[in-house]
Amino acid sequence: MANPPIFLFLTIFIATLLCCCSSFEEEKRTTFIVQVNHNLKPSLFPTHTHWYQSTLSSLLSTKTTNGTTSKHALNNNNPILHTYDTVFHGFSTRLSPSEAKKLQTLPHVTALIPEQVRHVHTTRSPHFLGLQTAAKTGLLRDTDFGSDLVIGVIDTGIWPERQSFNDRDLGPVPAKWKGRCVAGKDFPATSCNRKLIGARFFSAGYEATNGKMNETSEYRSPRDSDGHGTHTASIAAGRYVSPASTLGYAAGVAAGMAPKARLAVYKVCWTGGCYDSDILAAFDAAVSDGVDVASLSVGGVVVPYHLDVIAIGAYGAASAGVFVSASAGNGGPGGLTVTNVAPWVTTVGAGTIDRDFPAHVKLGNGRVIAGASLYGGPGLVAGRMYPVVYAGSEGYSASLCLEGSLDPKLVKGKIVVCDRGISSRAAKGDVVKKSGGIGMILANGIFDGEGLVADCHVLPATAVGAIGGDEIRRYIATAAKSNHTSPPTATIMFKGTRLGVRPAPVVASFSARGPNPVSTEILKPDVIAPGLNILAAWPDRVGPSGVPSDKRKTEFNILSGTSMACPHVSGLAALLKAVHPDWSPAAIRSALMTTAYVVDNRGHAMLDESTGNVSSVFDYGAGHVHPEKAIDPGLVYDISDSDYVNFLCNSNYTTDTIQVITRKKADCSGAKKAGHAGNLNYPSMSAVFQQYGKKKMSTHFIRSVTNVGEANSVYKVTIKPPVGMKVTVEPQTLSFRRVGQKLNFLVRVQARAVKLSPGGSSIKSGSIVWSDGKHTVTSPLVVTMQQPLDY
């Protein structure tokens, strides 16, 4: 069921925007995305754009409460920011509350959606995933490395000169392609080639809110001034480049998941963020251009689907056959942090690979604390110990090493311990350096846990976990009390690149976790993929630390985030689409989910980096992607547009709010046949029981699987029930006569109440596994028992 508090909050929020008008309307304009019933266009208008402009002209020429004529803040002659005609019908514009209220009364206007500001979620991985270039068969060879598939990357743009985007030995641009290479500042149309076949930028929404962009620091073109988009694009589809490294770390061959796939970039993220009106315009263009996969490493606040522009744009894309993958977010390790949770989006969390970059702290008392770093400049003198100080005694800002917070007299010539939080990790090192410090130890807080992210610091520095940080601070405090007879000292020992790390994969500490805050019946994230310390292409004019003072140049950089995990899945989806061109986006997601694994390279249950304990389905979803198995999953759980409509009906969305998402009038009269929202034909199953004093509770799931393996195959079920629960499946055998045949099965779950305090919960997981002896098709099953606060 959709989350009532979210609906209530948004209802109040919109009502406030629409009703609170005053004589200061000019200062109160905000951006709205306006959905229009495009079929109602009067014939006297040659295009929908003319109709929209006429509507706004009449609206915006009215008198304001102070008697002056209302003028649009952006452009009085053309107040429209973007028009949409593929994944959405309508336009975006800036409106005051009273103008929004008037516009909403027009018969052809079906919805006004307040704009959100989103933010990016910031190469050994092909080898770790089992994609071997030397193999004569397998996913890479069988797909010609993804040639002729088009991946659309919605991000910060691209640095086209990088060798990762060369077009050597590629065939002509696919005949289906209808996109463009839009020229702009420092980006001539010749920047595109047979690899980078399309490039656009969308800034109207960003500039409507922030004013004209500063073109001395940003490019009014698809060129990347941040680095994030270049990095994600090369993870998805970068060519083979050797030698590749970052400041000497991770030396080897760099390659994306689908090295011959074509790229189209849609720049929507700027210094001030990524604005919904621009993101929707990018989705609209990408689908119209003919992309096969849309990759989006961007996220924001979770809201109901009809108010979530990413969910709306992704639905239109999926309905057109485009696979959409999105990053889960970097809000982990806390629960309920996952974003981009719509069931038609493949939501990707992050895991580690079997490579790290150790840089340990040695204290004056001989203790060694494990750390990680990518510092590549002059190091500390080997064997020498340096004074170490924790600036927390100078106040909260100093403990975080914020700009201007450090006293040079206190830190000069010393290694400074800084707490994580508020400013970026690398920016703290820059503050220490400018204050005269010679090194930095970056300590995780309790919430960050033990997860370590390596950074290209501007001075000798390393990151340590929360436990290690506490030990270092205790050592400093104890040594400081010794009346300077034994002052605290430390050094940092950089160990370079380490391969063959065990255990791996591990769920990255920062990776956002479930449960799904909008639809508890849909398990999110769907899968995890490599997202910690990933090597990929990088622009010339951005230092590897991302700090403005960093003037170093590198062709590749190592970054971490679900932003890096998402394009791994985007590239894999392109490879699967190349092998199975008739598969729907839901079928591709199913193949990735049902073949995923949940054990590490030791054969043990996958761990959670933040705690070192065993991870759960809310951490990794179905598990870590396994590309070579996904190519031949045996069975898939497919989903149609009508299935999604039934899901929305059973989630208590109204016919009007469903139309905002699907662009069609919904009929919910038959949806109740599906029973409940959990009966969406998803590859995972999630149930929530509200106890309310009940002793026994039960639910069921109806599923349909399509045979994509072999004719005359027989699958038998293995049930691994959640602890303390009874699970049955009917029938227990599925006999397929032909490829493409669909068969249904029913899962019943029975649970007994458990002792919980008010507001408490208990989570148990299991699985439903179908096998014909060759294929193993695994669906996670998670059951949450909740004790309501009011009981």
- Residue 377 confidence (pLDDT): 87
Nearest to 129 by CA among 737, 727, 662, 625: 625
Query: In this structure, what are the phi and psi dihedrals at residue 165, rounded to the nearest 5 degrees?
Result: -115, 25
Q: How confident is the model over 759-770, as pLDDT tens digits?
A: 889 999 999 999
Ramachandran sector of residue 306 (left: φ over 0; alpha: ψ -120 to 50; beta: rest): alpha
> Which of 72, 228, 231, 626 is flagged as catalytic?
228
Residue 92 annotated as catalytic: no
Superfamily designation of domain 22-50+78-117: Peptidase S8 propeptide/proteinase inhibitor I9 (3.30.70.80)
Single-letter amino acid, residue 715: Y
Counting as low any pLDDT under 50, the low residues of the chain are 1-27, 63-77, 123-126, 134-135
Q: Which tokens sit at 80?
A: 């429209």
Q: What is the distance between the alpha carbons of residues 171 and 643, in angstroms, rounded to a whole number? A: 38
Q: Which tokens sit at 589?
A: 């997601």
- Residue 562 confidence (pLDDT): 96
Rg of the chain (C-alpha set): 27
Burial class of 368 by CB neighbour count within 10 A (0 to 12, 13 to 18, 19+): exposed
- Residue 484 confidence (pLDDT): 65
> Can you name the CATH fold of 681-787?
Immunoglobulin-like (2.60.40)
Identical fold for domains 22-50+78-117 and 681-787, yes or no, is: no
- Output the CATH code of domain 125-354+505-631: 3.40.50.200
Q: What is the distance between the alpha carbons of residues 628 and 414, in angstroms, rounded to a whole number? A: 50
> Which of 125, 295, 563, 615 is flagged as catalytic?
563
CA torsion 374→380→386→389, rounded to 10°?
-30
pTM of the complete model: 0.92
Query: In this structure, what are the phi and psi dihedrals at residue 646, rounded to the nearest 5 degrees?
Result: -60, -40
DSSP 393: G
Note the residue count of the chain: 791
CA 726 to chain centroid: 35
Q: Which tokens sit at 654?
A: 């109204």
Q: What is the distance between the alpha carbons of residues 786 and 758, in angstroms, rounded to a whole number? A: 8
Q: What is the distance between the alpha carbons of residues 691 and 88, in angstroms, rounded to a whole number? A: 41
> Which of 82, 98, 155, 319 is flagged as catalytic?
155
- List the helix and strand counts (H, then E) for the chain: 19, 38
Residue labelled with tokens 């809201």? 303
**CA distances in angstroms from 468 to 462, 465, 482, listed in the order given:** 12, 5, 22
Nearest to 624 by CA among 534, 531, 533, 527: 527
Q: How confident is the model over 434-444, as pLDDT tens digits?
A: 999 999 999 99
- Residue 71 confidence (pLDDT): 38
Q: Are 242 and 555 in contact (CB under 8 A)?
A: no
Residue 550 annotated as catalytic: no
Residue 563 annotated as catalytic: yes
Q: Where are the domains of the chain?
A: 22-50+78-117, 125-354+505-631, 358-496, 681-787
DSSP 224: -
Single-letter amino acid, residue 422: I
- Residue 146 confidence (pLDDT): 60
Q: Are 411 and 435 in contact (CB under 8 A)?
A: yes
- Output the CATH code of domain 358-496: 3.50.30.30
